[in-house]
Chains A and B, each alone.
Chain A
Amino acid sequence: MRSGAKETVPVGILYSLTGTYGLVSWEMLNGALLGLDECNALLNGRTELRPVILDPGGRLSAYASHCESLMRDYGCRHIIGCYTSAARKQVLPILERTNTLLWHSARYEGFEASENVMYIGAAPNQHIVPLARYVLENLPPEIYCVGSNYIWTWETNRVLRDLVIGGGGRIVAQRLVPLGETDVAHIVREILERRPAAVFNTLVGESSYQFLRAFWRAVSVEPGLRAGDIPILSCSLCEPELHLIGEPASIGHITSAVYFQSIDRAENHSFLSRYRARFGAHTSPSVDAEAAYICAMLLGRAIESSGTDAVDEVRRAAFADSFEAPQGPVWLDPETNHAFLTPRLATSRRGFGFDIFWEASQPIKPDPYLAWLDETSPGPTAVAQSQPLGDIRVKAADLQSVKGTRHGASSTGAKRIH
């Protein structure tokens, strides 16, 4: 960018606003747009970040062609986008060939670290590991896994299985259904028959909503079983989905995520009100919306401080930055191109929100290859050593809300986290 003249920097936005992931994608688009607006205010008229929005419509092949088009036809050097790993793998070769940057907002299963991606969504040690640790410390570790049959389920189940079995527990069963499958009655029946201590749910979209509704209905008429006796655990359930599931089926589920709307920080209160002022009171920013917002902010701030959108300069500036995000301070780890984030555990409550009952005392270093997680002896102590999760903060209200969903004695004898 030359000094003096106002310049426009095109920023590609590549989310499937139509198709299976439409709902999440709109929230991510909103988050990115809000972030770009705020960066434009920061740039104070010297430079304008202009979003160029293309919609691959959930078709994998369109990700590559749209990505090419963003670079070639619109001159983008930076793209915010991609929700599934399959979509990201489509654009990776293009990013590497053209030395452009993807600012990736979605949490994912890890085992990737491209030089041309800034991974702002949670790495596996920032979502599945805290959840597995919770299981080991608080529940008889007999877990039933149900999920959509694709890579996210396979990999998160693998990590959970290794940690649970390593901690002396067992996986009661693992049931996979095709993506989009809504016939889940047989799974609900089997869970009630086998009575696991908890269910780990990696179903996505409508499959998951149908399952949660069917499960609630079945539990409510099952003698000797109350809602919450078999908690359902997830790494993906978010606020907008609670609306779609509907109450009371949406209540009492445990989620591991780096962001919830109920985070009590000034930065988050302000984020929520700006978000709703911009996009409407009915909108419900999720963990994905916050991540897309952070993507835009880290990108815009790096362009502001380096005075250019050239990739190498922006990357360097972004690595030197630390941003007070709604979830807490967020910064990039130059070793892995992933972000330091603050994991949290929460229970869904009435009113389509979450009560947070645990949070890490500080942002956790990303470990995309789980290289520092000892899988051979992964007791809570081993996990704690490899990644200090820090103090456990408990609020009285949270404690109350969690009690209904928890089992009694911890079979591992480990310290309870609430």
Chain B
Amino acid sequence: MPSSRPRLLFRGLHALIWHGDDADRQALERFLPRLGLTVATQDPGLPPEPTSKHDLLFFDADLDLPLVEGTAVPRIALVGSETPTRLEWLLAQQPATVLVKPIRPSGLYATLAFAFANFDRLLSLERDLERLQTKLRHRRLVLFAVLRLMNERGVGEDEAFAHLRRSAMHQRTTIEALSAEILAARPKTTA
């Protein structure tokens, strides 16, 4: 779940700027500390050190930088050219948001806020998706466990499921895990 209040305070975060040393990079280096961030830079010739401990990444969207997919931090694209070829490449990198060059102080604060909000939302959606996919995979197990309980206890579907849920709660486990246990531990006796 995303936190109820969005991140609007960036003090103490560390930004890496992967961009050539020009007026835009220097402007970012000057403006980010006002918002409480520390800044490191990386020339385009080399990828960032794998050990780099940054909390967000600014990268030059005008070069085909070898961005690693699914980086664990929000990525902000520094966009000069808006041609379709560049945008196609850029969209494939899935940045959290973009900042249009030339870099000005206006817009930077909003860009940071959106980058973190978008990134958090994406993480949260991915977590939800994984949870739901697991649930979906285990649905067959739950279904068979309910059928088993209905047969054994001569109860209806609702009661069987309620029993399953209660037991799972008492044993502090999930319905899915308990279902798997029931099916594994008590093999079917009827042919």
Contacts and interface: CB of A to CB of B under 8 A. Distances in A.
Contact of A115 (B9, B10, B11, B105): B105
A369 interface: yes
A371 interface: yes
Interface string A355-371: 00000000000001111
Interface in A308-364: 335-336
A372 interface: yes
Contact of A335 (B11, B33, B104, B109): B33
A399 B12 CA distance: 40
B35 A369 contact: yes
B36 A371 contact: yes
Contact of B35 (A96, A115, A371): A371
Contact of A371 (B11, B105, B106): B11
A371 B34 CA distance: 7
Contact of B105 (A114, A370, A372): A114
A312 to B, nearest CB: 14
A111 interface: yes
Contacts of A115: 104-105
Contacts, number: 32
A113 B105 contact: yes
A111 B105 contact: no
Interface string B31-68: 10111100000000000000000000000000000000
B34 A375 contact: no
A111 B109 contact: yes
A112 B105 contact: yes
Given A113-B34, A368-B34, A369-B36, A375 B105 contact: no
Interface residues of A, number: 15
Interface centre among B33, B104, B105, B106 (most CB of A within 10 A): B105
A165 to B, nearest CB: 12
A286 B170 CA distance: 70
Choose among A92, A113, A335, A372 the residue with the greatest number of B CB atoms under 10 Å from its CB: A113
A114 B34 contact: no
A336 B106 contact: no
A275 B34 CA distance: 36
Given A369-B36, A371-B36, A112 B9 contact: no
Give the interface centre of A96, A111, A112, A369 by most chain B CB atoms within 10 Å.
A369
A336 B9 contact: no
Interface string A95-113: 0100000000000000111
B35 A114 contact: no
A363 to B, nearest CB: 18
A96 B31 CA distance: 15
6 contacts: A111-B109, A112-B106, A335-B33, A369-B35, A369-B36, A369-B109
